Amino acid sequence: MPSQWRLTLLLALIIGSSIALTLFFARAAVSSDLRRADREIIMDDLVEYAAIYQHNGVAGVNEVFPAGQHADSNALRITDDSGALVYEMIPEVMRHHPWPNMPPAELKTKGDTWQSEITLPSEPHWLSLGAIRLHDGRTLWFGRSSVDAERYLTNIKHHLWLAGITAALVALLPVLWYSHDVLNPIKAFTASAKSLHLPEGEVRLIAPRAIPELKTLASVINAGLDKILSLTRELQSTNDQLAHELRTPLARIRGNLESLHDHTDKPEARESAARSLEEIDRATQLVQTILTVRAGDHGALRLHRQATPIHDLLHTLVELFTPAAEDRRLSLTLEHGLDLMLNVDRELLTQAVANLLDNALAYTPAGRSVTVRWQAEGTGAVIYVDDTGPGVHPEEMEMIWERYNRGSASGARHAGIGLGLSLVRAIATAHGGTVGVNNRDTGGASFWIRLPQG
């Protein structure tokens, strides 16, 4: 889940819990205060109406009580010692609650008071009830309904909900800020970082409208990338210059060694000259590979295209590599496909497929197989070299095509400096094609070269 939604859900959970707890404790506190206030009001009214009764009797009570401002939520009753009703004024809303039939035992002498609360499961409101012993032995009852208290609590609850929703909306402002000034720049970082692996190396982290800390981070990383790009270009330029400069002296050394080989009669000298010629040829091939890869990266590799049957080219290569495969106790086979004719540089394409076969034979354990196949794709073709080796680590499927990069499967026993696959890519790119690798479900890797008609 994106961090923006996680932060929003976290704030919603915190704010919702806070509102619920606030409502719970506020309602409990206000309800407690209202009940205490009801008990105090009932006590005051009991004393007041007892005094009225003592001076003016039932008639005085009947005259004063209906004139009260809360007669719709207050009730009054007078009973004698046997519980017989003497006077009663109870609103309809309070008639559902049962009143005691007999005076409480606590009322023994004049002025004694008693209070209680009557609730019913079927009624949403409660009845606060009080009683006082009158001077003539009768009992005066006074009750208050919780209708007003509930109305007051509801009003408070609505205001608390309004305050909570307002607080929630205000609390979302940091989320909006976090999304605009933190997440969006990080997304821009991610989008630009995905292009950092491109060969040009000129992509930089972008920090539009970012917070100062992210801008500082972007500038530091970009400065490091600039330094790396400068050093890389300097190294590449040095490599190219060395490659160009080495071709002439290598050719001269080879000529001298050939002359020594042809004009000496000593077997030891002829053998040393032959070994030296082999090393010179390897160095010359390495220099030529570097120049070819560099030319392919810059789109300057010249092609000598000719109509080439793909079957004949691959068949010749398989026959050429079969003895090497047998020496390693490997099975090298060619799967026949449609007869295809492509307009390609036969020599360069042969070199590209040969590099793939070299790798396949080097990394496939003895007793297993390597397969070369091809298939038509539009007006072009895709050439595959399938091995049954360790495969390629998913994080290295792009990296291994770069110059001087070798996969983790290569060890000390596998010679090379990481130019083979970069040469394959350079040749494919020069033809307008692409290269790639996939791990096979049955084990091993499948390297492919996709070529257009040309």
How far is Cα of residue 47 from the mean position of the Cα atoms in its chain? 71
Q: What is the 3-state secondary structure (H, E, C) of the chain?
A: CCHHHHHHHHHHHHHHHHHHHHHHHHHHHHHHHHHHHHHHHHHHHHHHHHHHHHHHHHHHHHHHHHHCCCCCCEEEEEECCCCCEEEEECCHHHCCCCCCCCCCCCCCCCCCEEEEEECCCCCCCCEEEEEEECCCCCEEEEEEECHHHHHHHHHHHHHHHHHHHHHHHHHCHHHHHHHHHHHHHHHHHHHHHCCCCCCCCCCCCCCCCCCHHHHHHHHHHHHHHHHHHHHHHHHHHHHHHHHHHHHHHHHHHHHHHHHHHHHCCCHHHHHHHHHHHHHHHHHHHHHHHHHHHHHHHCCCCCCCEEEEEHHHHHHHHHHHHHHHHHHCCCEEEECCCCCCEEEEEHHHHHHHHHHHHHHHHHHCCCCCEEEEEEEEECCEEEEEEECCCCCCCHHHCCHHHCCCCCCCCCCCCCCCCCCHHHHHHHHHHHCCCEEEEEECCCCCEEEEEEECCC
Q: What is the pTM of this model?
A: 0.46
| Best CA proximity match to 372, nearest among 311, 323, 328, 421 | 311
pLDDT of 412? 42
| β partners of residue 343 | 307
- Per-residue model confidence as pLDDT tens digits over 20-66: 888 788 878 887 888 888 888 889 989 999 999 999 998 988 888 88
Say which residues have a Cβ less than 8 Å from residue 372's Cβ, sequence separation at least 6.
Answer: 314, 317, 318, 332, 333, 334, 335, 353, 357, 383, 384, 385, 386
The domain limits of the chain are 3-170, 305-451
pLDDT of 410? 60
Q: Please tell us whether the domain made up of 305-451 is placed in CATH 3.30.565.10.
A: yes
pLDDT of 333? 93
pLDDT of 187? 76
pLDDT of 330? 93
The span from the CA of 281 to the CA of 293, in Å, is 18
The span from the CA of 411 to the CA of 405, in Å, is 13
How far is Cα of residue 114 from the mean position of the Cα atoms in its chain? 67
The yes-or-no answer to whether 3-170 and 305-451 have a common fold is: no
Encode the chain (454 residues) as per-residue pLDDT tens digits.
666 677 777 877 887 788 788 878 887 888 788 888 888 888 998 999 999 999 999 898 888 888 765 657 788 899 988 888 889 888 887 778 888 888 888 888 898 999 988 887 777 777 889 999 998 889 999 988 877 777 887 888 888 888 878 877 787 787 777 777 777 777 777 777 776 655 555 667 776 667 777 778 778 888 887 887 777 666 666 666 666 666 667 677 767 677 766 767 777 777 777 777 777 777 776 666 676 766 666 666 778 889 999 999 999 999 999 999 999 999 999 998 888 889 998 998 998 999 999 989 988 999 999 999 999 888 889 999 999 988 888 888 888 888 767 666 665 455 556 778 888 998 898 888 999 999 988 889 999 999 987 6
Q: Which CATH architecture has domain 3-170?
A: 2-Layer Sandwich (3.30)
| β partners of residue 424 | none
Q: What is the number of alpha carbons within 13 Å of residue 203 lying toward its C-beta? A: 13
Say which residues have a Cβ less than 8 Å from residue 88's Cβ, sequence separation at least 6.
Answer: 76, 77, 78
The span from the CA of 301 to the CA of 351, in Å, is 14
